[in-house]
Structure formats: C-alpha cells, structure tokens
Amino acid sequence: MTNASNAAPAAAQGGRKFGDVILDLQNISLRFGGVKALTDISFNIREHEVRAIIGPNGAGKSSMLNVINGVYHPQEGKIMFRGQERKKMEPHMAAKQGIARTFQNIALFKGMSVLDNIMTGRNLRMKCNLFQQALWIGAARNEEIAHREKVEEIVDFLEIQHIRKTAVGALPYGLQKRVDLGRALAMEPEILLLDEPMAGMNVEEKQDMCRFILDISDQFGTTIVLIEHDMGVVMDISDRVVVLDYGKKIGDGTPDEVRNNQDVINAYLGSGH
C-alpha cells in the first residue's frame, strides 16, 4: 500500500471543487460464512468527486458497493456518514439518506414505461398521504405534475425523449442502462453508486455513458462512486481510484498514482506489463 488513503485529491482536476469527506469507510470486513469477501478495507469519499472502485473479477467491488448501499452489513468496521457513525440499515433507508444506485444486471421495472420507471425515483419526495392519493384530489395531483416536470428534465438530459412511453422490457441493453441511471438521478441523490455502468456496451455507448457521468458531476455536483473493470474508462473520468484485489485494498490515489503503483500493475494488469 504505497499511497495513503487520505492522499489529498488532485484538487479541482476538471475545474471541480471537492468538499469534505461525506462517507468514510473504516476497516470494513465482510464475510459470507467462511468466505472473506472484504478484508480490512478503509477509504473515504469526498463530496463532488468521481470515486472509482476497480479490480479484477471477484475482487469484492460489488460487495463494497452493497455495503455502502446497506444491502450487506459488514461484520467489522465502521461507516461514517457525514461524520456520524451509520447504524445497520435496510437498502430503502440508504435511499432516504440520499444514496442512489444503478445495477450491474439492470434491475428495472420491466412492465412499466420509461417515464413510470423514472417516476419511481421521485417516490420518496412525494409528500401526499395515501388518502389524498386514493381520492386523487388537488394536492396529490399538483404534486404529481410537479414531479413529472422534473422527470422530463432528466429524460431530456439523458437524451431518451423518443422512448419515454415505451415499456422498458422492450428496449435494447444500452438504453436500459440509461433508464436505470435516470431512475437513480430522479432521486436527486447526494451520492450516486454506479455498478459497472459501462459493462457490455459498445464503444459508442461507452462514450455516451462517460459523457453523462461527467455531466452529472459538473451540473449537479453529485458525488459519484463508480465500479468498473474497464481500466481505460475509469482513468479518464475519475478523480480518485481505489483498487481492490481478492477483497483487499492494494492501491488508492489519483489515476496517475494508481497507474504507477507496482502492486496494482502486478495484480490488476498482470506482471507482464
């Protein structure tokens, strides 16, 4: 481990400013029975940065994401969210705290239209109670319209206007990935977790996705945590990178630092490089 985990970020790499540490993971260990998925991992995430978690298959990247999202509860270690220790919680509680995510194997509501899918992301922000909604009276209706406008903005942002009313199950893979991102964005999250957003995409789709990720970071200032094993993509768009291998952290720092880290080169790129 050559780079300190708290290495000061290459400040304002793309003109962006990083804020304080928003999420601090301290000595996280996660086991499934006898299998060690994560061993003593510590790193932090600063506001407004694009933070990548990379590593070969089976390195524990998705487990790490699921820990942040509240799906898995680590046996050891602490998670500090905005300086306070986070208690054991359910995934929907993470959503309430402003943590949104996308899925590696797209998990959209297949029978529903693109608009309805993205609207589900607004659910937490809707305040009308069940009875108002059941009666479909003024307040509930106005609220629905207001949120619908926000959703249209996201649809424009992601350039998916032409498929707004299409059932998601009928869309090609690349567009489904975009809808998945749209649903997470609709939550206006503070932290956006992207689980292999580029997996299975062709070059053109990958470029589009990179552009969206950078635009989200620039325009909304959302903190983005990104899992990817496409090394090239990650180096281009992230501010800081954590490298995992066999559930252990082997590198942490700016893309350049990580690229030149011998452990990373050996473990991730293979000793031949």
- Residues near another protein (CB under 8 A): 69, 90-92, 95-96, 100-101, 103, 107-112, 116, 119-124, 126, 128, 130, 133-134, 136, 140, 143-144, 147, 167, 169-170, 183-184, 187
Q: Minimum CB separation from another protein for residue 5, in Å?
A: 27
Residue among 92 and 273 whose Cβ is closer to another protein: 92
d(CA 95, CA 184): 10
Residue among 1 and 134 whose Cβ is closer to another protein: 134
d(CA 8, CA 119): 38
Q: Minimum CB separation from another protein for residue 152, in Å?
A: 16
Q: Minimum CB separation from another protein for residue 247, in Å?
A: 23
Q: Minimum CB separation from another protein for residue 150, in Å?
A: 13
Q: Minimum CB separation from another protein for residue 232, in Å?
A: 28
Q: Minimum CB separation from another protein for residue 260, in Å?
A: 36
Residue among 123 and 207 whose Cβ is closer to another protein: 123
Residue among 39 and 133 whose Cβ is closer to another protein: 133
Residue among 42 and 166 whose Cβ is closer to another protein: 166
Residue among 173 and 256 whose Cβ is closer to another protein: 173
Q: How many of the other CB atoms lie within 10 Å of CB of 160?
A: 20
Q: Which residues pair with 47 in a beta bridge?
A: none
User: 101 by DSSP, 3-state: which?
Assistant: strand
Residue 113 DSSP code: B
